[in-house]
């Protein structure tokens, strides 16, 4: 892409920041050019964020009903999925999925809870509970 054609669509998903893109100068050499966003990229990013929000709300309801452990909600609230969370803690997916059962989660040792809380960026206390929120009105945190 030529430097003068780098998108500058003032994307709200960039939060007034710029993204570095490689583009060719008039002399044909590659260089870094700041972009304030691209409309198509913004649309796709917003769709992805809406999907994570939908998954977090669905997860919240499953935890509230006792079908899943709080770990299940916090995974989606932090924009992760099973594969990403498993990679973050360094365990097999089947093991992480098993920890999403309330009875199994309730028996987890502190070492495993600490690994999850570190990967999710929350305290063990937060990990073990659901936040108070109205998923009908507010979506999720």
Structural domains of the chain in order of their starting residue, each with its CATH number:
3-37 (no CATH), 42-138 (1.10.260)
Please state the pTM of the whole predicted model.
0.76
pLDDT at 83 over 80: yes
Do the Cβ atoms of 11 and 36 come closer than 8 Å?
Answer: yes
The predicted structure's pLDDT at residue 136 = 60
How many CB atoms sit inside 10 A of residue 32's CB? 9
Q: 79 or 134, which is more confident?
A: 79
The predicted structure's pLDDT at residue 141 = 46
- Bridge partners (DSSP) of residue 19 are 35
Do the Cβ atoms of 10 and 37 come closer than 8 Å?
Answer: yes
Do the Cβ atoms of 69 and 101 come closer than 8 Å?
Answer: yes
Which of 40-54, 86-100, 127-141 is the least confident region?
A: 127-141
Do the Cβ atoms of 93 and 82 come closer than 8 Å?
Answer: yes
- Bridge partners (DSSP) of residue 34 are 20
pLDDT at 138 over 60: no
Count of helix runs (H) and strand runs (E) in the chain: 8, 2
Alpha carbons 103 and 52: distance in angstroms, whole number: 26
Do the Cβ atoms of 61 and 135 come closer than 8 Å?
Answer: yes
């Amino acid at each position: 892409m030529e430097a003068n054609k780098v998108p500058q669509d003032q994307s709200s998903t960039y939060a007034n920041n710029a993204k570095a893109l490689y583009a060719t100068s008039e002399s044909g050499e590659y260089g870094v050019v700041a972009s304030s966003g691209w409309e198509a990229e913004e649309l796709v990013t917003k769709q992805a964020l809406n999907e994570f929000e939908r998954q977090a709300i669905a997860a919240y309801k499953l935890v509230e009903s006792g079908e899943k452990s709080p770990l299940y909600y916090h995974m989606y609230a932090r924009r992760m999925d099973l594969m990403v969370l498993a990679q973050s803690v360094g365990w097999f997916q089947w093991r992480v999925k098993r920890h999403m059962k309330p009875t199994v989660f309730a028996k987890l040792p502190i070492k495993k809870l600490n690994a999850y809380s570190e990967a999710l960026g929350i305290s063990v206390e937060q990990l073990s509970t659901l936040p108070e929120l109205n998923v009908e009105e507010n979506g999720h945190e």
